[in-house]
Structure 1
Amino acid sequence: MNARFSAMKKKIAFIINPMAGVRTKSFIPQHIHDELNRDLFDPTVAFTDYRGHGSLLARDFAAKGFDSVVAVGGDGTINEVARGLVQTSVSLGILPIGSGNGLARHLEIPMNMRKAIQMLNFSEEIFIDYGLVNQRPFFCTCGTGFDAYIAAEFAKGHRRGIVAYLEKIVKGYFAYHSENYRIIGKNIDFTTKTFLMTIANASQWGNNVYIAPKASVQDGRLDVSIMSNFPIIALPTLALQLFTKTISNDLFINTFRMSEITVFRPAPGPFHYDGEPYEEGKEINIRVVPAGLKVLVKKRF
């Protein structure tokens, strides 16, 4: 009887990024032990050792027949783990401990660690979209311009959290220079001088900063937000609109939905996917992959 019951348990792996966020991670395995329902799950815990390790671990757990793999970290960690699970039957879980936690917040996953683990006990699987930027997967947002510049500056620093991020934004405003971009997609072809461009699968950058308030991870489309240059006197209003889900009403923002766009710019430069900065070329293709990832969320009924 016990052997049959054990065979019914779901195999679940937790991949912990020890560098994510600002808190110590030593308590997490104990929280998993305390809060996870052992009648439902047979857990395994692993820590990442280097950048990209999360993807390798996720693929390995998927190959070993695990039912779910949980990313324990921020949006960058989620990206690594999810990349190893796309187009498989293995579901992604999230325990958010990053600086912004944009995708977790969009999916209404608790920010409290114990509550997030408890949610797994009462979760269900849904399929969500993800994006590809020159074949590189992203799950929350990607972009170029000022937000990519800030992502690169933030990665250089040693401080994390919303205060450090806001400091980078204020200082960066005076150092960053806008560029011209040509955007081509179905029924569109235009050139614009752009302060920032975000392509969103989910609604926010993180920390409840909503760059695409109406974005859905299940509509088969990406929300494109293009912000033009604005005077510094407009900054408080823009900040308020980002936090109150009204940024799409601003005169400096142009928003539209597409399943695929191609962006052309004068020269290679900074780009980011899920807040992770890197150098991208002059031609950037971004498209959505509908229902390509299975995710654990709070059971609705």
Structure 2
Amino acid sequence: KISIYIYVAFSTTDSKVSPHNSMSIGSIVASLFAFGKLKKFFSSASQTIAPAPSPVPIPIPVPEEMSDPTAWMIDNSLSEFLLMPGGVLYMCMLGYTFLHGCKVFKAFPKNASLSYKIVSMVLACTGGGIMVPIFLNSIPVPLANDAYPIAILISFALHYYFPILREVAGMSTIFKVLLVVFYECTRSGVVVKITYFAGSTIAASTFGFPLFGPIACGTIGGCGGAFLPFSKGLDPIKAGLASPMLTAFVGATCFHLYLNTSLSEGCVDAKAKAHVFMTLFFIAVGIVNTLGLSASAAKTVAVKTKSE
């Protein structure tokens, strides 16, 4: 507007202006116009500039924990008992040694000395835990774990001073089944520990993992007491493998192959779950044999009935 006013003023005051002067007036007007534009530009630029918005944080995806569809196998009270945490271990250990005492005291000769009875019971309860650690250049179980000698001495005292308890165990089905449960829980724990320890100690040779060594160690760990003292030789298997020997072999084989092959791939807590199923297998077989529910026991009863 200023330039227009100046131009109008010049054109109205001096009508006799030369072309050269008109060019000068036009340039002045253009300069004023440009000056006005520049002033407007700088005045707008001098205003307060709004701060740039803060960057929005991009959330980093956090991988979710892998779901375990088989967690129910160990997330229950029964599995917690079968895995023998805390005091349950000592309770099962006492039942294990007491049931061994029921078998050992029946086989003692009448003139057997006290030391003979004690050593025989120690060998019967921890035979596998003595032999396998010697094979693997380790410490035998009764020397490494003081809980076993304590449980053995308590059970021995009960059998020695209160022999009527053996008669109660033979007459009461409930008491007998309870002892079998404690016995098999402890025995399965021994098979699991010895098989796993042997698998981590023995070096692989032909295959990617040691195959026969851990299975043999687990089998001996579950029934080694039957071969001690070594003066028995092979008499314990002269009539065939006993039930504890078969279950120890099957349990050690399945446990070892499951953990060291693709069968356990992607399984969470595979060792604990295999331990639970092995214990259930041992308990089922033990109860069937104790109560005489097997087919061989039924045939024996039928033969006795016919003969009578």
Identify whether the pair has TM-score above 0.5, normalized to the shorter chain.
no
More helix as a share of residues: 2
Structure 2-normalised TM-score? 0.21
Between structure 1 and structure 2, the one with the greater Rg is 2
Structure 1-normalised TM-score? 0.22
